[in-house]
Amino acid sequence: MDSAALLDLLGNENRRRILRLLARKPCYVTEISDYLGVSPKAVIDHLRKLEEAGLVDSRVDSQRRKYFSIARNLRLEVNVTPYGFGAKSAYPASRGLDMNRCRYLSLDVGRSGESEPGGDPEGLESLATELDRLESLENELSMAQRWVQGRLTDVMDRLSEEFDTRGGLDGRFYAEVLSAMANGVDTVPKLSRRVDAAPEMVEEALSVLARYDVVSHDGDRWQITEA
């Protein structure tokens, strides 16, 4: 399910409350109904939509009661800036992901010792320490994301102002074209869809940017020229 559909799904307060409840424990329909104060029929409809989105799954116990629980980890990010609106959804990466391959990110990814359940009590201490470290890291990453978002807006402002001073160019439009290219959009048709402009306008903008040696192309593919 794409990010826009997820936003629509989670826009309902009762669905968000269901997810908060299921994050604490698996529940059956009557429990959820009592918690929300709505009819079982309405709960079943919400659960159906959450299941279709892959956020919730179910199992039947020995008494034939159907329990619902959170199906997976999901991170949904929403960015609202003067230059655009967007949402991204991401599932957890493999535990074997090599973070050292990230060009500009330096993390201490060493893992603390682990123990089997019921094993050495020091395993609990190690896990608690690891939890503390990861929670701190998550907070640091959140701060870093906010810093990057602020810097992106600042650079977009400066790009827009710079183009505005060069022959009356539409600075905001040119900044949006460059932003799309920075996100890997590299052909005129794709750029046209991303910035919601006619292909002719995009081609003209690319020609102007090429004259300033800001972009270059290889056949039909365009890229930002590295300084």
Query: Which CATH number belongs to the domain containing residue 16 in this structure?
Result: 1.10.10.10
Instruction: Pick the more confident residue, 87 or 55.
Output: 55
pLDDT at 225 over 60: yes
Number of domains in the chain: 2
Q: Do strands 27-28 and 56-60 pair parallel, antiparallel, or not at all (unpaired)?
A: unpaired
pLDDT at 57 over 90: yes
Cα–Cα distance for residue pair 36/22, rounded to 1 Å: 12
Per-residue pLDDT band for 115 (boundaries 50, 70, 90) equals: very low
Mean pLDDT for the stretch of residues 146-175: 87
Domain annotation covers residue 78: no
- pLDDT for residue 113 is more than 60: no
pLDDT at 116 over 80: no
Measuring CA to CA, how many Å separate 46 from each of 14, 16, 38, 54, 98?
8, 10, 11, 13, 38
Residue 103 lies in a domain: no
- Domain final position from 70, 95, 113: 70
Confidence of residue 52 (pLDDT cuts 50, 70, 90): very high
Asked, for residue 24, whether it belongs to a domain, the answer is yes
Q: What is the pLDDT of residue 200?
A: 96
Residues 163-182, mean pLDDT to the nearest whole number? 88
48 in any annotated domain: yes
Tell me whether residue 219 is in a domain: yes
Lowest mean pLDDT among 68-77, 82-91, 109-118, 177-186: 109-118
Backbone angles phi, psi at 196, to 5 degrees: 55, 55
Name the one residue in this structure whose structure tokens are 């609202």. Answer: 80
Q: What mean pLDDT comes out for the span 85-97?
A: 72
Residue 95 lies in a domain: no
Q: Domain residues for 17?
A: 3-70
73 vs 90, residue with greater confidence: 73
Query: Residue 38: CB partners within 8 Å, gap ≥ 6?
Result: 14
- What is the model's pLDDT at position 130? 86
Q: Which residues pair with 121 in a beta bridge?
A: none
139 lies in a domain? Answer: no
Of 20, 44, 70, which residue constitutes the final position of a domain? 70
Q: Domain for residue 175, yes or no? A: yes
CA distances from 122 to 48, 90, 118, 132, 133 (A): 43, 34, 11, 15, 16
Percentage, residues of the chain above pLDDT 70: 86
Domain boundary among 19, 41, 70: 70
